[in-house]
Amino acid sequence: MTQMFVYGIAAIVVSVGAALFARQRRAAYAVVRPARPRRSRVR
């Protein structure tokens, strides 16, 4: 029972960490992608 409880907590921590990491990556890509074509168009 204790092992299952520990594995459950570990799975939740990993899933939350992965979700936060994915959000940061998406936000970074969302900022970088539109910035590049705008700069190239201005030039």
Share of the chain above pLDDT 70, in %: 72
- In this predicted structure, what is the pLDDT of residue 3? 92
- In this predicted structure, what is the pLDDT of residue 27? 76
- pTM (whole model) above 0.85: no
Residues 13-43 as b/e (b if ≥16 CB within 10 A, e otherwise) read: eeeeeeeeeeeeeeeeeeeeeeeeeeeeeee
Is the pLDDT higher at 31 or at 8? 8
- Domain spans of the chain, in order of start: 1-43
Measured in degrees and rounded to the nearest 5, phi and psi for residue 14 equal -65, -45
